[in-house]
Amino acid sequence: MRDLVYPPVIAFARTAFKVLDLKVRITGAENVPRTGGALIALNHVSYVDFILGGYGALPSKRLVRFMAKEVLFRNRYSGPLMRGMHHIPVDRDAGAASYKQALEHLAAGEVVGVFPEATISRSFELKEFKSGTVRMAAEAGVPIIPMILWGTQRMLTKDHPRDFSRHRPISISIGAPITVTQDDDATEETANLRSTMAKMLDETIQAYPDQPATAWWLPAAYGGSAPTPEEAERLDREELARRAAKRQEPKNH
């Protein structure tokens, strides 16, 4: 697969990280295989998780093909970049096509990135996981690489203004590969994956520097003022209701 767009995007991102003096700390980079297909499963707390998640695979010289909302591919600015980097558009009304494309990438020895929560977590804790990650890895015969991002929510996330302040610490924790097979129970293995990533998230939060009490970006369970998972779920439902109502509004001609 020819990559004419990805390398300059990486170079731009590295320059931006340097300008912002981001303190990116990657642990477990050796867990990303240097060859062959693999599925990276990431938590989702920010709109920039694609960028930092891909950065976490660079020590292994791998380019990650992320499964992302189809709307990003139709945007006049992000669309050419998403297509040029061979990311995978996800249309929730036609999910089979994106699933098939991801399997083709994995069969070709590519690394695919997926967010099992599907959407950004407003509580910054893990939401419920969809089983597609486990089912895809089992069908493709590739390992799942769990990855936790932390600190990205301070830059750009839901319900808060963007903040690209300098000197910000970013943590990327990468866990040991997880093997699943088609004989395994997808529901049970999805729960195991979530449990593994929850433990990794806790360890990453505990080790993260610069955590003032009651910070808005710190989960309520850790003393922060972020919404609890229950409050976050209510906010998600309200957001979906607003979107549905907007779709029903008559269009002006």
DSSP for 162-203, written as a single string: ----SS-EEEEEEPPPB---TTS-HHHHHHHHHHHHHHHHHH
pLDDT of amino acid 252: 62
Q: What does the block give as tokens for 176?
A: 């040991």
pTM for this prediction: 0.94
Burial class of residue 102, CB neighbours in 10 A (0-12, 13-18, 19+): buried
| Residue-by-residue pLDDT tens, the chain, 253 positions | 789 999 999 999 999 999 999 999 999 999 999 999 999 999 999 999 999 999 999 999 999 999 999 999 999 999 999 999 999 999 877 778 999 999 999 999 999 999 999 999 999 999 999 999 999 999 999 999 999 999 999 999 999 999 999 999 999 999 999 999 999 999 999 999 999 999 999 999 999 997 888 999 999 999 999 999 999 999 999 999 998 898 888 866 5
pLDDT of amino acid 186: 97
Residue 95 has a CB neighbour count (10 Å cut-off) of 13
Cα–Cα distance for residue pair 223/242, rounded to 1 Å: 30
The CATH fold assigned to 6-214 is Glycerol-3-phosphate (1)-acyltransferase (3.40.1130)
Domain boundaries, the chain: 6-214
| Share of the chain residues as helix, strand and coil, in percent rounded to the nearest 5 | 45, 15, 40
pLDDT of amino acid 253: 54
Q: What is the torsional sign of CA 81, 83, 88, 91?
A: positive
